[in-house]
C-alpha cells in the first residue's frame, strides 16, 4: 500500500471567514503561483485540458507567464461527442495551443484497469483514473511536465453539492444549518465542508501524482499550493456560490483571461460512457474475474450480489450498476495482482 503525504494546512488552523476578499487578490496569487511553478518546471510543458475553466485558466496563465514558450494541451474523452473533447478543443483553439486528443473506448479498459491497480497497489480508486493514466502516458511522449487545474472545484465551490449547501444555509426553515456553534450567526457550511475535505484529499491527489510519475511525467497542480489553500479558507460562502452559479469568485477572478463562451461554459464531468459497448466490455471481464468459483474462494464480494448485478446489467445497464460492477472487478483484479501473486521472498 502507498502512503501519500498529507496536504497542509490542517483544518483546525482556521475559523469561519467573515470578511469578503477581492477577486484581484486571487488573480494576483494565481499569476504568481503559476509563474513560480513554470520557473521550476523541467523540459517541455503541457496542460491537462478538460472542457472546464480551471485548466483553461492555468493554460492562459502559463501563456502570460512566458509568451514564447510552446504549450501543448492534452484532452481525454470517450469520443467526438464527448463534451470534454469538444470543450478542450475549443479552448486550445482559442489559446493557440498545440492540442492532442486521447480517446479511451470500452475496448481499452481491461488493460488500463490492470495497469492502474498495479501502480496504485490498492483496490480503490475512481473510474476516471484509467482515462487520466491514458492521458498521462500519451502526454509523456511529448512533454516532461504537465500542469493541471485540479482542486479548483473543491477550493472555490464548483460542484453541484456546493450549491446544495448554499441553499441550506440560506433556507430560513433550516435553523440548525443556519447557526454556528456560538449561535451568533449563520454557519458557513461551505467552509465546514472544505475543512473536512482537507482530510480527504490525500489519496486522490497522491494517486494522481503517482500514476503520472509512473508514466514518466511530472504532474504540477498549482492550486494545491499552501497560499491558495489559505485564501480559499478565508473566503466566505457568499462569494463562492450564489443562487444561480457555483464557483462565482473564481470565475470573476479569471474573467480577464478567458472569453465569455469559455468562462460560462456548462460544467462537465470526466467520465466513461455507460453504453452498450461498456456493458459488453464489463460483462466480458466479469466472465474472467467474477466466476462463481473465484468469488467464493476470495470471499471479497457476495456471489449472489455478483450474479444479480451481472444479470440486471444485461437488460438494464445503468450508471449505478456500472459503478457496482466496476468496483467488484477492481477488487478481483487487485486480488490477482497482489493477494494471489507468487511470493517474492526467498527461504532462509
Place of cell 532462509: 348
Q: Is 324 inside a domain boundary?
A: yes
- Are 259 and 280 in the same domain? no
- Looking at the structure of the chain, the number of domains it has is 2
- The CATH number of the domain holding residue 236 is 3.40.50.620
Cα distances (angstroms) measured from residue 222 to each of 33, 37, 53, 168, 195: 6, 7, 14, 31, 19
- Are 166 and 39 in the same domain? yes
- Are 181 and 300 in the same domain? no
Cα distances (angstroms) measured from residue 152 to each of 56, 205, 213, 247: 12, 13, 22, 8
Domain-terminating residue out of 232, 263, 294: 263
- Are 26 and 175 in the same domain? yes
Peptide bond into 9 cis (omega under 30): yes
Q: Is 346 inside a domain boundary?
A: no
Residue of 81, 79, 87 lying closest to 261 (CA atoms): 87
Would you call 182 exposed, middle or buried from its count of C-beta atoms within 10 A (0-12, 13-18, 19+)?
Answer: exposed
Beta bridge pairs of residue 218:
145
Where would I find the H helices in the chain? 23-40, 53-65, 83-95, 109-120, 129-139, 152-156, 160-169, 189-197, 201-214, 226-233, 237-240, 248-253, 260-263, 276-289, 292-298, 303-315, 319-334
- Backbone φ and ψ for 153, nearest 5 degrees, come out as -60, -45
Please list the pLDDT of the chain residue by residue as tens digits (348 residues).
Answer: 344 444 455 656 778 888 999 999 999 999 999 999 999 998 999 999 999 999 999 999 999 999 999 999 999 999 999 999 999 999 999 999 999 999 999 989 889 999 999 998 887 767 888 999 999 999 999 999 999 999 899 999 998 889 899 988 887 444 444 454 444 456 889 988 888 877 665 567 788 888 999 999 999 999 989 899 899 999 999 999 988 889 999 999 999 999 999 999 887 777 788 899 999 999 999 999 999 999 999 888 889 999 999 999 999 999 899 999 999 999 999 998 887 765 444 443
State which residues form the domain around 234: 19-263
Residue of 43, 70, 232, 211 lying closest to 152 (CA atoms): 232
Amino acid at each position: 500500500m502507498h502512503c501519500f503525504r498529507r496536504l497542509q494546512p490542517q483544518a483546525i488552523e482556521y475559523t469561519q471567514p467573515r470578511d469578503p476578499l477581492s477577486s484581484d487578490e486571487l488573480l494576483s496569487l494565481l499569476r504568481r503561483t503559476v509563474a513560480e511553478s513554470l520557473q521550476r518546471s523541467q523540459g517541455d510543458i503541457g496542460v491537462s485540458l478538460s472542457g472546464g475553466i480551471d485548466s483553461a485558466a492555468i493554460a492562459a496563465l502559463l501563456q502570460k507567464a512566458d509568451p514564447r514558450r510552446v504549450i501543448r494541451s492534452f484532452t481525454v474523452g470517450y469520443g467526438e461527442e464527448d463534451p470534454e473533447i469538444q470543450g478542450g478543443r475549443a479552448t486550445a483553439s482559442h489559446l493557440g495551443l498545440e492540442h492532442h486528443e486521447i480517446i479511451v473506448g470500452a475496448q481499452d479498459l481491461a488493460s488500463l484497469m490492470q495497469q492502474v491497480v498495479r501502480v496504485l497497489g490498492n483496490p480503490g480508486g475512481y473510474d476516471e483514473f484509467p482515462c487520466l493514466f491514458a492521458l498521462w502516458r500519451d502526454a509523456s511522449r511529448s512533454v516532461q511536465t504537465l500542469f493541471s487545474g485540479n482542486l479548483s472545484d473543491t477550493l472555490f465551490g464548483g460542484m453541484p453539492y456546493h450549491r446544495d449547501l448554499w441553499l441550506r444555509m440560506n433556507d430560513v426553515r433550516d435553523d440548525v444549518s443556519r447557526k454556528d456553534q456560538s449561535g451568533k450567526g449563520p454557519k458557513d457550511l461551505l467552509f465546514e465542508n472544505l475543512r473536512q475535505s482537507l482530510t480527504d484529499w490525500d489519496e486522490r491527489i497522491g494517486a494522481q501524482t503517482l500514476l503520472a510519475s509512473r508514466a514518466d511525467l511530472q504532474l504540477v497542480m498549482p492550486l494545491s499550493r499552501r497560499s491558495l489553500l489559505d485564501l480559499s479558507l478565508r473566503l466566505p460562502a457568499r462569494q463562492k456560490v450564489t443562487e444561480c452559479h457555483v464557483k462565482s469568485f473564481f470565475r470573476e477572478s479569471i474573467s480577464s483571461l478567458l472569453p465569455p463562451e469559455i468562462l460560462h461554459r456548462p460544467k462537465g464531468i470526466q467520465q466513461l460512457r455507460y453504453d452498450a459497448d461498456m456493458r459488453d466490455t464489463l460483462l466480458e471481464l466479469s466472465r474472467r474475474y467474477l466466476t462463481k468459483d473465484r468469488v467464493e474462494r476470495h470471499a471479497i464480494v457476495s456471489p449472489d450480489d455478483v450474479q444479480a448485478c451481472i444479470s440486471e446489467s444485461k437488460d438494464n445497464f445503468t450508471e449505478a450498476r456500472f459503478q457496482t460492477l466496476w468496483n467488484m472487478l477492481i477488487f478481483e483484479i487487485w486480488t490477482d495482482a497482489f493477494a494471489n501473486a507468487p511470493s517474492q521472498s526467498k527461504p532462509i
